[in-house]
Structure 1
Amino acid sequence: MTSRCSYSKCSTNNNDQASNNTAHLLGCSRCKSARYCSTACQKKDWVFHKFKCVSPEVTRHEVDGFSIEAIQSAINSASPGDIVVIKEGAYGNDGQSTLFVNKPIYLWGGEENRDNVVLDCNLVIDESDGDHDGSKAVVVADLFLDGTVTISDNSYKSVTLCNIELKCPNNSPRDALKISGCKGKCLILGCDIYGGSDGVHIASEQVYLKRTCIQYAQNRGIFSRRIFTIEDCEVSGCGGYGIKGSAGWTEKGRHNDIQPGPWSSDGPWSSGW
């Protein structure tokens, strides 16, 4: 159990006395794992914590080994609603593997420090068995992923990517994140997305981008065939437009920083990383 405030931006975490204040931390009444130095920190962290606030009675599966196959095995063994926990380390080394999340589960990595869990693979979230009632959610959180993400045909209540760093290989012909065929809500929260032909390609309704940074796509930061919502995001350094959408989009929050366009086809994206 942590001796630090679970709100990663809490100033007391850098205080030498933080580790001595364990008895004064407020515990989350539901998950029993998150702890806070104040109700103010608990409220600020809720936007992220609610996606990992799961009862301790929920079945957890620990990944056994440091390969993409080991993660896939744990996912295959999980039942809908279970949690798959990936321990700190690097998984995969060829960039050719594909990891499939084809049932409503929680896939968790390295807490707020996502750099502790590195996956070198492509991630596909779909519903291949088609035997779900649409009442459950998929949550993938706290990972560094060197590859692409595809969220496709599914009837989940929601699909959430939370605190993910996604780096699509430079000059890749694929989009870094592609979203299509989702029946429910798709939320991209607190993520950093780099590279790809397009950074994010949207072909689904109910897509929400919040507190996310999209940079260095070869063409467009976001290309959308559907209306979507963007809140407190940055889109910059892409080869063409920051956003190009045939159906438009809804801006929320006060801090969207969106690159205008078009830029030249050999724009500044190539110098980004």
Structure 2
Amino acid sequence: MTVRLDISGALATIALGRSSLNVETKVAFKEAVDCAASNASVRAVLLTAEGKNFCVGQDLGEHVAALEADPETAMETVGIHYNPLIKSLKELTVPVVVAIPGACVGAGLGIALAGDVRVAGTNTSFGTAFTGIGLASDSGLSYSLVESLGASRASALLLLGDKISAEQALDWGLIHRLVPDEEVQGTALKLAQRLASGPTEAYRQVKSLVSASASGLFDALVREAAAQTHLGQSADHKAAVDAFLAKEKPVFAGREALPSGTNNYLLG
């Protein structure tokens, strides 16, 4: 099995069974993401790997075979597989936590950056590697690296293809938690479980607002006002306020958090 999908309660876990991506893995990966997206019970996704490495990108053996068969069509996998996969990941309306063991390179880095919260181990390493084989970038890295690092650092990372350590990745903001290698999976699981029990509709609006932030501050202000107005009517917000006043811990209902009759409009 190249990709394992496990849905337990409100948490969907998607685990890569191999570190390099062949067609079978890419197809199964997208199917798992789409399955999680269509399951109404899922309130968070944990993306991880079952091997010692998270993902080292394209299976070069398969790529070489494609080049030998027809150089003109060898890169069609970008449009057919990688782009739809990244798009599906970014369109998930629930939080996505990424547990990153070992190496995270090329398309693997693009996949990791499509998540919301990233946890890595002390020996995790990151890189782009594309220019090392005469390519530029795919899997959204020309956007996600600039968004995460700024144009200067993103350009250097893509042009030079140098690996960076987990410590450097934390300093630059590529990851959010750095833990001992043996704690990566457990830490990521706890964060995913925490998000799965949180205010799903608020998280959805946060993700929508962040995605729309590139349109500028003034537009963001309008969107934030609309989102807060929308969320202010939710059952989760009322429950949280009541719990605060009672000095209790709130329990969030999640997807069914809006009272009947409330307009559930999409912002962004």
TM-score by shorter chain over 0.5: no
* Structure in which a larger fraction of residues adopt strand: 1
TM-score, structure 1 normalization = 0.31
Q: Which has the higher contact order (CA 8 A, sep 6+)?
A: 2
TM-score by length of structure 2 reads 0.31
